[in-house]
Amino acid sequence: MGRPDIIGNSVELREKHGKFWSYDTSFEIDRSDIQFDHNDMVGFGNYAIVLRGQLLSQGIDVAVKLPKATTQIDEFKGLLTEIKIMIYVGKHQNVIAFIGACTDSIKERKVYILMEFAENGCLHSYLRNHKPGSVRKGGPQSDNIVVPCENEAWPIVSELDMIRWSYEIAKGMEYLAYKSIVHADLATRNVLLDKNLIAKVSDFGLSKQLYGKLNYTKKTKSQLPWRWMAIESLTGFEFSTESDVWSYGVVLWELFSFGDVPYPNENWSKAFVDMLKSGLRLEQPKDATVEVYNKLTSCWDLDKSCRPSFTTLREDFEKMWRHESKNSSTSYSQIED
């Protein structure tokens, strides 16, 4: 899976030939150690499906990602690159953890990618399933939310929950930026919630590691998430940490609108891009304060150098979270230093 010897230390070659990053075989898992049911699907994309499974030797639930039967060779190679990216990313409390992979059938275009299992699924679905008439201030504390019995009302997602998720996503993205990773597909559908409803950034299918460059141009054709993309991504296919910040602003809008579709009345067109250039922006969600909405709009500056960093966003939402926690007489012990 790797020929790092032909790349050496060349930034240009590493940028061009990312598919040759070496594979750390210590992450290899024997197929007999993986158990899953094809009927227990928890997610899917254009090229792969995700099933709930078990890593038998550790006795834990895992998410098992595997290519669809219709996956083409270039798409399959993309999955292999994704493995190497996740190994490079390593561990962080707000990034979905890579556990290992089974690649012994790689010649048959089969691979099994094992990741941390997020019991509460993606943030987008969670928001849609818990959408009330309005957000109430304060608790209940997110870690006390339980799945209701049949005919029992869903618990309310509070403003405090939303601020905490905003902080946690910013913290995960700050870490990816530190690792020189551009996500390029940040949206609430790609943020997962664990059993304690902690937000974790996931799905690096469109991501790329930067080797000393400020941005890169995506030359391969694929279905792109235009509603979340920065103006420079739409006009020149340029992706960077700053374009991820733009997407993060859209994620905040999704959060405070309970998973509504951004720009619901627009279609992908040159006219849409022109409207963005002329100042079109998503309106303030009714459950977002002016302070929160100002954070959103700061992420959508046409000049990417004027957008806040993920460190600034993380710090701002952490302060907001602590302030709101004190006002609602709740604990902020979930924040990890």
List active site positions: 185
| Nearest Cα residue to 167 out of 298, 311, 314 | 314
Containing 252, the helix (H) or strand (E) segment is helix 241-256
Rounded Cα–Cα distance for residues 312 and 197 (Å): 23
For 171, what's the count of Cα atoms within 13 Å in the CB-facing half-sphere?
24
Amino acid at 261: V
Cα 138 to the center of its chain, rounded Å? 26
Both tokens assigned to 163: 């601020």
Concatenated DSSP letters of 135-163? PPSS-S-GGG--PPPTTSPPPPPPHHHHH
| Nearest Cα residue to 311 out of 212, 174, 200, 202 | 174
Containing 276, the helix (H) or strand (E) segment is helix 270-277
